[in-house]
Amino acid sequence: MASRNDVATSPGAGAADHANARIEISGLTKRFLTPAGEVFTALHGVSFTVEPGQFCAVVGPTGCGKSTTLSMVSGLDRPSEGSVKVGGREVSGITDGVSFMFQTDALLPWKTVLGNVLMGPVFRRVPKHQAQASARDWLRRVGLAGFEDRYPHQLSGGMRKRVAMAAALINEPKILIMDEPFGALDVQTKAIMSTELLSLWEQIRPSVVFITHDLDEAVALADRVVVMTSSPGSVKAVFDIDLPRPRGSVQEIRFQPRFIELQHQIWDTLREEVERAYALTAGGKQ
Ligand X SMILES: Nc1ncnc2c1ncn2[C@@H]1O[C@H](COP(=O)(O)OP(=O)(O)OP(=O)(O)O)[C@@H](O)[C@H]1O
- Bond preceding residue 152 cis, omega within 30 of 0: no
The least CB distance from residue 253 to ligand X, in Å, is: 24
Q: Considering the rule CB under 6 A, would residue 40 count as an interface residue with ligand X?
A: yes
Q: Are 3 and 104 in contact (CB under 8 A)?
A: yes
What are residue 225's DSSP bridge partners? Answer: 57, 239
Stretch that binds ligand X, among 19-27, 55-63, 130-138, 147-155 (CB under 6 A): 55-63
- 212 makes contact with ligand X (CB under 6 A): no
Q: One symbol per residue from 67 to 106: x for binding ligand X (CB under 6 A), - otherwise; what is it?
A: xx--------------------------------------
Region binding ligand X by CB under 6 A among candidate stretches 58-66, 135-143, 155-163, 190-198: 58-66
Out of 21, 42, 76, 91, point to the residue binding ligand X (CB under 6 A): 42
Q: How far is the CB of 50 from ligand X (least distance, A)?
A: 17
Out of 4, 18, 66, 190, the residue judged to bind ligand X by CB under 6 A: 66
- The reply on whether position 230 binds ligand X by CB under 6 A is no
Choice between 231 and 234, CB closer to ligand X: 231
Residue at 67: amino acid letter: S
Residue 85 Cα to chain centre, angstroms: 17
Contact set with ligand X (CB under 6 A): 1, 32, 34, 40, 42, 60, 62-68, 231
